[in-house]
Structure 1
Amino acid sequence: MASKTPRKDKDGNVTSYQIEVYRGRDSEGKKLKPYSMTWQIPEGWKSENKIKKELDRVAAQFEIDCKAGSVPLEKKTFKQYSDYVMELKERDFKHRTIHRYKEVLVRINEEFGHVKLTDITGLHLNRFYMKLGKPGANKRTGEPLSSQTINQHHRLIHMIFAQAVKEHIFMYNVADTATPPKIEKHEAEFFELEEVLAIRDALIQQPLKWQAITDLLIDTGARRGEILGLQWENIDFKNNKIEIQGNLQYTPEQGIYLEDSTKTDEDRTVTIAPEIMRILAAHRKEQLQYKLQCGDYWIETGFCFTQEDGTPMYPSQINGWQQKFSEDYSLPYIHPHKFRHTQASLLYFSGEDPVTISNRLGHKHVSTTQNIYGHIMKGADERASNKIASMPYRRNSPNSKAK
């Protein structure tokens, strides 16, 4: 039954009632904040019986509405509630994920951060998504946002409203009533074998550190942060293997940091070509010599690839160096992730199965590998089919007779 608490003015006269309805307890047994509303006594009402009768009616209806899930719990704005959700999710999500969410929230809050959470409708969201798809949405380039980026906004909004549903603020997810644009799929670009050979030929003239970084990207298909996260204790020179344990990341709030695990939440061991291990060993020797020359200037961190003082590198340094490298040698545009796609294509065309490829790339699910590289798999399948078609099915023609 709803509780009714009188509220008095400075003269001691009852002017309103605070009506509250019990909401129950959460999964940890803590009492949830009750549903609440204020009923103001209409001006001129003096009859206590009349006031009591109307108060009872309002309270009873409020309780019915609460049980039906049609009464909003909060009067918070979208920004206030989204800030709360971000704080809540920081316990479970990786730092770079939260950082990206907060970047996206800036644009969302500019649109309706001031609006009450419970006033937002699918119409608000649809208009917002259409606005993002128009020229000028990207303030840096003046271009529209891609369908993929717009869907990133939608997924974040959906997550925020999902929390509101979980807390019984809504009976349904408002984001489910909106229609984000269909994602335009872009095929992952990769280097042809001849291009890889040209890159490796040009690498011979580069510092050992950059030879090793680029060769490892090509040979492992690892993410750039995973290569920069390698420490010498992860290198098994005897058996030509490396163990990928972490992913080096950077955000302005946290600086350079090493995540404890990769996307699969599991370490993975990758076999490396002997010639690349020799380059890595030569780089190790060179680093040790440089360390002795630096003396106290050197900061020991144990990373394979460092800045001049021994501290970890910024992930973006790989992009900057490889872009200049490709321009200096008139090579195709080089992006670290393109080597990842190249590794996948080489493995597919060599006949490796999706599970092996997924494990080497560090995907949590084989379906992720198949979704990203579906067009490559199709090409590999067509090549396999052509090979099968060229094979004879019988040693003898149908008309030949055994002798």
Structure 2
Amino acid sequence: MSASTAAPARKRWPSSPRRSPPATAASPSPPRRAAWPRTLTYWLENVALHHLRENTHTRYTTCINRYLIPGLGKKKLTKLTAKDVRTWLNQLRTTCQCGARGIDAGRDEPRCCAVGSCCHKLLSPLTLTYIHSVLKSALEHAVREEEIPRNVARNVRTGTPRPRRFEPLTADEARQFLTAARGHRLHALFELALHTGLRKGELLGLRWEDLDLDRGTAAVRRTLQRTSTGGLTTLPTKTRASEHRIALPARCLQSLKHHHEEQQRDRHTAGTEWQHNGYVFTTPQGRPIDPTNLTRTFTTLLCKAGLRRIRFHDLRHSTATLLLEQGVELVVIKELLGHAHIGVTATVYAHVRLRLQRDAIDSLGRALDHP
């Protein structure tokens, strides 16, 4: 059960067959005055395909087919201006998507734009920022290919969207949750999640060879995700910084040792149906756990504990928030979470730090008022 020190070679979309571009896609480089849709298709299928994770590539493709081509498809690449981009983004920002994408017209009983009663289902600022970033990436490639002299999308400002809100567990709620999970076959996973802040895919991608229970460490080397072509697939961690080694608290070490014993009993019970793959957390038959199934289990345990419904990822936020409240330095939390830059940690948990600063200042004020 000792961790090996050699990290596996990083690669993109492992263990899944590489998709062949559709027959209609033009593999050669597009002509200098190519139409905008053809340029986007070329970039997706000949450039982005080899540099993005499969799920990210799928999101890029959806974004381009749903927004960029319908909105800017009639423009020639060389004629595209910053004003065109700004006008298009402003239109997206104020247009009901039920009507623009034909959602309402496709319903059995139209209830929005198709019947003259708009629900004003608008895109969120985060979605608009994402669309803008995909456009900038596509145009940046066109600049490198010398199809256009500059990236006009960089001259357009979309504003800084508010960070996604999260609802971390309080210390009392975390204790309630762990109590409800006690006795569950995945109790060690939830305890590890709350004590280390590992992501869902990182937890499910852990193998016994990554753990050194004698030294009390774990090496985070991969993530387990479901992709459209490969099913459950092992991928490199989200970033290079995410591939790191963490210390395990004594409580987690005890839970993991108990979990290993339980897994051995499952293996004996399953007999020839057991699928040995070395994963720490598996189904009773030894198969990898689907992330969606883990989310269902998590939601059930929240209900059992009488807690409000939160996302699984909020366990990660709970870890960081509780550590900050205990006075742990930001740089230590950054290393534990595997953030590439401390600025990411500082930005995500800025509101927590501000609250702690306010508490500290109030404490100082009380001390000065009442010696």
CA distance in 2, matches of 1:290, 1:376: 42
* Contact 2:242/2:337, CA 8 A, preserved across alignment: no
Give ranges in structure 1 of 5+ residues lacking alignment: 1-32, 35-71, 398-403
What corresponds to 1:159 in structure 2? 137
**How many Å separate the matches in 2 of 1:323 and 1:124?**
45
Deviations 1:188-242 (A, max 9, x none): 431111111111121125x222x12211111111111111111111122223322
1:103 aligns with 2:62: yes
CA positional deviation for 1:335: 1.4
1:248: how far off? 1.3
Structure 2 residue aligned with 1:226: 202
1:74 aligns with 2:32: yes
Distance 1:390 1:104, change over 3 A: same
Q: Secondary structure of 1:270's match?
A: strand
Contact 1:190 1:338 (C-alpha < 8 Å) held by counterparts:
yes
Rg larger for: 1
Aligned equivalents of 2:271, 2:38: Cα separation in 1: 51
Task: Compute the displacement of 1:383 (Å).
Answer: 2.6
Quote how far apart the aligned CAs of 1:390 are.
Answer: 5.0
**Aligned mates of 2:167, 2:91 — CA distance in 1:** 29
2-structure distance, mates of 1:174, 1:254 = 37
Q: Is the 8 A contact 1:187 1:375 kept in 2?
A: no
Q: Is the 8 A contact 2:267 2:284 kept in 1?
A: no
Q: Could you say if the C-alpha distance between residues 110 and 285 of structure 1 is closer, same or farther in structure 2, counting changes exceeding 3 Å?
A: farther
**How do 1:130-169 and structure 2 match up within 5 A?**
130-133=90-93, 134-136=95-97, 139=103, 143-169=121-147
Asked if 1 retains the 8 angstrom alpha-carbon contact of 2:225 and 2:233, the reply is yes
Q: Is the 1:247–1:261 Cα contact (8 Å) retained in structure 2?
A: yes
Say if 1:309 and 1:78 are closer, same or farther in 2 by CA, change over 3 A.
Answer: farther
**2:345 partner SS:** helix
Aligned identity (percent) is 23
**Aligned 1:312-327 pairs, distance under 5 A:** 312-327=288-303
Alignment CA distance shift 1:313-1:117 (3 Å)? farther
381-390 vs 221-230, which moves further:
381-390
Aligned to 2:43: 85
Cα distance between partner residues in 2 of 1:261 and 1:183: 26
Counterpart CA distance in 1 for 2:260 and 2:145 is: 54
Q: Return closer, same or farther for 1:174/1:262 CA change in 2, 3 Å cut-off.
A: closer
Paired residues in the alignment total: 323
Q: What residue identity is the alignment partner of 1:346?
A: L
| Correspondences of 1:176-195 after superposition (within 5 Å) | 176-195=154-173
Letter in 1 for 2:248: I
Q: Match for 2:40: what amino acid?
A: S
Q: Partner of 2:162: helix, strand, or coil? A: coil
Match among 253, 278, 282 for residue 254 of structure 2: 278
Residues 244, 269 of structure 1: 8 Å contact kept: yes
Q: Tell me by how many angstroms 1:318 deviates.
A: 2.1
Which residue number in structure 2 is paired with residue 204 of structure 1? Answer: 182
| Matched residue, 1:172 | 150
Segments of structure 2 that go 5 or more residues without pairing to the other structure are 1-27, 105-118
For normalisation by structure 1, the TM-score amounts to 0.72
Q: Does 1:350 align with 2:326?
A: yes
Moved more, 329-338 or 227-236: 329-338
Write the distance in 2 (CA, Å) between the matches of 1:216 and 1:274: 11
Question: C-alpha distance in 2, partners of 1:260/1:182?
Answer: 29
Question: Given the two structures, how large is their TM-score scaled by the length of structure 2?
Answer: 0.78
1:256-313: CA deviations, max 9, x gaps? 2112334234632222232222222222111111112222222211111123432222
